[in-house]
Structure 1
Amino acid sequence: MSDTFCQLCKCFTEVVSDHATGDTSCSECGTLVVEETSEWVPDPTREPVSPVRLESGVSGSNGATEEEEEEALPAPRRKRRGRPKRPPYESIAEVANRFGSNFHEFWLGLGATIKDRASDIYKKVIDQKPLKYKTPAAVVAACVYVACRQESNPRTVKEMCSANGAKTKEVVRVKDFIMKYLVTEGQEIVIVHAADFLTHFCSVLGMSNIEVMAAQETVRNSEELAIRRSPISLAAVVIYIIAQLSNDKKAVRDVALVTRVAEATIRNSYKDVYPHLSEVIPTWFAKEKDLKQLPRA
């Protein structure tokens, strides 16, 4: 080593010579230096040495980072960074936890058991070909719906659609496929009865325990009759009848909003049940004179 004046350090420093390349560099800062007495000729085959930027990011030709250069480009030429997809299990939890501020809105509030089962169902069916072109919202809603069925705590398809904005027809197709697939896998799908919806609907409407018990007994008595109505429609009309016999009456519109059953369907179902009121309404809840005060079908 020998002392040579370094232009960067502005003083005489020891330098180190590389005999293989012919370079001489400052031992303090590492900058290439040239001794005045040497006849150093730059090698045209070597790339010029440029200072390294200490800032974060990779510098471009003009000293700016890649992010800064990209921002300077026109919008069509910028790199498209896709937003990361939301994990499906977060979507399942959001649907299961969804609450409404009052009974005019949907209300689910499902437990951890249903969320876990819905996640398991999702894992099993998501790679199936019929679901390839279905929207994620529809698949999530259908998985939660089937999980509710399997846990004997059913909810309606319309409630699931209200929870995450999925389309009803698509959710119906997806849940039908999932249920058939699970049956082929040896899993049992619980059959839905009108009584299964009562506790949930009555709770949202703020009905008392006595009214819930009366509705449950009315539904059981109604199922013995030849009334061809879906379980949800039958549950809706029974809730409407029990509400009319109680002090806190509910309008058809309120029952329709909670059950997601059309007002016209509730009225038509009422016409089917009305001739059998004395047979289905428990006598401990309403007497014959009380039944006569109900609206005529």
Structure 2
Amino acid sequence: MLAQPFPLAAPPPPPKPSYGPDLAVRLICPDCRDPVPKIVEEFGSGDLVCGSCGLVLGDRIVDTRSEWRTFANDEGDDPSRVGAASDPLMDGMEQLDTLIGFRDGNTGVAKELQRAASRSQGGGRNERNILTAFREISNMCDSFSLPKTISDIAKQLYKRADEEKLLRSKSLDAVIAACIFIACRQAHVPRTFREICELTRVPKKIIGQCYKTLEQAFNLTPGVGSGGPINDKGIVAGTGPEELLVRYCNHLALPPTVQSYASDIIIEARKQGIAAGRSPVSIAGAAIFFTCHLLDHTKNIKEIGGVAGVSDSTLKLVYKLFYADREKLVKQEWIDSGKASLDRLPSTEK
């Protein structure tokens, strides 16, 4: 019997069974321990309840079902799942927009339907003009970072002006500019004529003419709602320089103390009759320049003029008036506290 040259290899071990995690997640009631649980989702109360024993397993559950709401004007079920709130200014005009497809199998039905749809729309050209004006007002207010309140007031003013045929000879941009300017005053969001002109690209003279017409037609008191100072006649003036300080100081990244001190200086200058008759924009810019040097926050006059939209010579002229009466404008308590110093103010002598 021959000997084996090498030992036989041992048979391979049987393969081990592979196990994996059980991905079937089941919610079982801790009281019933029923392997086939009866879980009921009560969306009305937002609870997850066991159908066998009534134990509340969860609360504030999210309703994942389809949401069916009624958007129809009449009572009854409406299977629509879309729709927005109606705009009272539009009078349903935005709901009359219908588009007819072009594919009709070369039968000519689509063309006839398009003609019938265009004839059935009431108002026609007038409604399209109002929709165009409303769209333009919204775009201008968004580009100027104005709140939606301004847009709504301007749309209301434009619709009244269009219904009463007040500005038929004026361009659409001019009427929109005047409506936005009046809306800014009524909503306590001060904007100057210069800023409205830059926004709408309409000359200041034309905006002024439209503004005067709307002011007389709607019995608008000049400057009501603007929050400006009251003059000797008891009428609220236009946009005050104190209101412009907030935006100008924010654009210049100045601390709140500069705005507070500059506001006090403007109020004191008005009481003393200093810089009377000057525009609010130039007074606000000169007050900021005056206060910045008073509190040792140096700012270039060109930078202030660029934010305020005023030339350097105009700011220097108003600053000279403030500098001449600087002892009347600066409070003694500011100097005593060490925050302000008259020596920091640049001299106007050349």
TM-score range, shorter chain: 0.5 to 0.7
Instruction: Give the counterpart of 1:249 among 278, 289, 298.
Output: 298
Instruction: Give the counterpart of 2:136 among 91, 94, 109.
Output: 91
Q: Does 1:288 align with 2:342?
A: yes
Instruction: Give the drift of 1:149.
Output: 1.0
Q: Does 1:151 align with 2:200?
A: no
Aligned to 2:170, the other structure's residue is in SS state coil
Which residue number in structure 2 is paired with residue 233 of structure 1? 282
Instruction: Give the drift of 1:217.
Output: 1.0
Which residue number in structure 2 is paired with residue 49 of structure 1? none
Write the letter of the residue equivalent to 1:213: S
Q: For residues 55 and 268 of structure 1, do their structure 2 counterparts lie closer, same or farther at Cα, with a shift above 3 Å needed?
A: same
Deviations 1:192-223 (A, max 9, x none): 32212111222222221111111111111111
Aligned to 1:238, the other structure's residue is in SS state helix
Q: For residues 185 and 164 of structure 1, do their structure 2 counterparts lie closer, same or farther at Cα, with a shift above 3 Å needed?
A: closer
Write the letter of the residue equivalent to 2:137: I
Conserved 8 A contact 1:183-1:189:
no
* Pairs within 5 Å for 1:43-122: 55-56=105-106, 58=108, 87-98=132-143, 108-122=144-158
Instruction: Give the drift of 1:185.
Output: 9.3
Scaled by the length of structure 2, what TM-score is found?
0.53
Which residue number in structure 2 is paired with residue 224 of structure 1? 271
Q: For residues 290 and 144 of structure 1, do their structure 2 counterparts lie closer, same or farther at Cα, with a shift above 3 Å needed?
A: same
Distance 2:222 2:268 in 1: 33
Distance 1:220 1:111 in 2: 28
**Which moves more between the two structures, 179-188 or 124-133?**
179-188
Q: For residues 187 and 166 of structure 1, do their structure 2 counterparts lie closer, same or farther at Cα, with a shift above 3 Å needed?
A: closer
Conserved 8 A contact 2:215-2:221:
no
Instruction: Give the drift of 1:230.
Output: 2.3
Conserved 8 A contact 2:187-2:225:
no
Q: For residues 127 and 194 of structure 1, do their structure 2 counterparts lie closer, same or farther at Cα, with a shift above 3 Å needed?
A: same
Instruction: Give the drift of 1:271.
Output: 2.0
Write the letter of the residue equivalent to 1:92: I
Aligned residue-pair number: 212
Conserved 8 A contact 1:118-1:143:
yes
Deviations 1:11-64 (A, max 9, x none): xxxxxxxxxxxxxxxxxxxxxxxxxxxxxxxxxxxxxxxxxx9645749xxxxx
Write the letter of the residue equivalent to 2:260: M
Conserved 8 A contact 1:243-1:250:
yes
Q: For residues 126 and 274 of structure 1, do their structure 2 counterparts lie closer, same or farther at Cα, with a shift above 3 Å needed?
A: farther
Listed as ranges, the gaps of 5+ residues in structure 1 are 1-52, 60-64, 66-83, 99-107
Q: For residues 261 and 287 of structure 1, do their structure 2 counterparts lie closer, same or farther at Cα, with a shift above 3 Å needed?
A: same
Distance 2:322 2:169 in 1: 43
Instruction: Give the drift of 1:269.
Output: 1.4
Q: For residues 243 and 179 of structure 1, do their structure 2 counterparts lie closer, same or farther at Cα, with a shift above 3 Å needed?
A: farther
Conserved 8 A contact 1:217-1:282:
no
Listed as ranges, the gaps of 5+ residues in structure 2 are 1-102, 112-127, 227-236
Instruction: Give the counterpart of 2:242 among 177, 183, 195.
Output: 195
Conserved 8 A contact 1:182-1:188:
no
Identity of aligned residues (%): 23
Instruction: Give the drift of 1:182.
Output: 2.6
Distance 1:261 1:183 in 2: 32
Q: For residues 117 and 275 of structure 1, do their structure 2 counterparts lie closer, same or farther at Cα, with a shift above 3 Å needed?
A: same
